[in-house]
Amino acid sequence: MPGFKSSKKIRLGVHTSIAGGLHLSIERAKQLGCTTIQIFSHNPRQWDTPTITDEDIHMFRELRVKHDINPVYIHASYLINLCSSKEDIYNKTIDLVEKEMDMADALGADYIVIHPGNSSDGNKKDARKRVINALHSLSARKRWTAKVLLENTAGKRGDISSRLEELSQMLNANSGIIGGICIDTSHAYSAGYDITDKSGLTDFIKEIQTYIGLDRLKLFHLNDSKKPYNSKVDRHEHIGRGFIGKEAMKRFLRHPAFYGIPVILETPKKSEKDDMMNLKMVRSFYK
C-alpha cells in the first residue's frame, strides 16, 4: 500500500492471562513474541480488588523492562458503569476506577481502558453528562501517571459510546484523567462503520480526525466480527474468519494514518495456540 512504512516499530500484543501472578502475564506475552500487552489487574467480574504485594510489583516492573513490553494496558472491570443512574453503582464505579488507577500506577502501566457504560433509562445525553461528572470527580481525587482510554462500543440498547461524536463529547469535557481513546474494530463494524469498504474506511478515518484527532488514538483492539455489519452485537472472531475479513483487516491495519498505533488482539481463546494463530495472521499483514 502506498505510504505504508516498515513494521519495525509496530507494537503488537494480546490480552494476556494473569493466572498464577501478575508477572506471569509478561512471561506469557514474551513467549508469544508480543511487544505490548493488555491485562486485567484483578477479577473483572468482582468489585473487590486484591492487595498487590511489593514483590508482585517488583517482578512485573522488572520483567516488563527486561522484555521491552511497552505500552502496558489494563482493561478495567466489566462491572464499571460510569453513566449508571443508580447511585450505589455509580459510587462503587468511581471507587473501583480509583483502585484500578492506583494499581496501574503501582505496576507502571500506561493506560486503563474503560467502556463508558450503558444507560438503563435510555437518556443518553444525561448518561454522558454522568460520565463527564464521574471523570471530573476522579480527577479531583488525586493525580495519576496512568491515563484513561475510553473505548468505542458496539451500539447495543442503552449504549452511549458507539459513535465517535459521542466519544468526543466525553473526551473533550474532561480535565486531565483522559489520555485518549481505544478503537475496537469489531465494535466499530457492529456499530455501523463499514470498515470493510475502502470508502467506508476513508469516512471512518475522517470522523476520527474530525471528532477525536489521530494524536489521541492510543490503541487498537484488533478483532474480527462474528456478527454482520451494523448488528449492534459485540461478538469477536478470529482475524480473517469473521464478517470484516482478512483483506479488510489488512487494509485497515496498513493504512498510513494508523502507523505506529499499538495493537492488542482480543480474539477468541481456547488455548495459547489461538493467540499464536491470530498473531501470525496479523504479522503477515505487515509483510
Residue 260 forms part of a structural domain: yes
pLDDT of residue 121: 76
CATH of the domain at 84: 3.20.20.150
Percent above pLDDT 70 for the chain = 97
For helices 164-172 and 124-141, give the axis angle rounded to 10 degrees.
40
**For position 4, what pLDDT does the model report?**
54
Q: Would you tell me how many other CB atoms lie within 10 Å of the CB of residue 196?
A: 18
Q: What is the DSSP string of 246-263?
A: HHHHHHHHT-GGGTT--E
Identify whether 18 is part of a domain. yes
Q: What is the pLDDT of residues 163-205, one digit of tens each?
A: 999 999 999 887 789 999 999 999 999 999 999 999 999 999 9
Give the pLDDT confidence score for residue 2 in this predicted structure. Answer: 47
Residue 110 has pLDDT above 80, yes or no: yes
pLDDT band at 122 (very low <50, low <70, confident <90, very high): confident
* pLDDT tens-digit map of 12-48: 999 999 999 999 999 999 999 999 999 999 999 999 9
In a domain, 5, yes or no: no
Predicted TM-score (pTM) of the model is 0.95
3-class SS of residue 125: helix
The amino acid sitting at 63 is: L
- pLDDT greater than 60 at residue 273: yes
The H-assigned helical ranges of 181-245 are: 185-190, 198-207
Domain count across the chain: 1
> Domain for residue 246, yes or no?
yes
- Give yes or no for residue 1 having a pLDDT over 70: no
Residue 3 lies in a domain: no
Range of the domain at 178: 12-285
Q: Mean pLDDT across the chain, nearest whole number?
A: 94
Phi-psi category of 108—alpha, beta or left, where left has phi over 0 and alpha has psi -120 to 50? left
In this predicted structure, what is the pLDDT of residue 272? 75
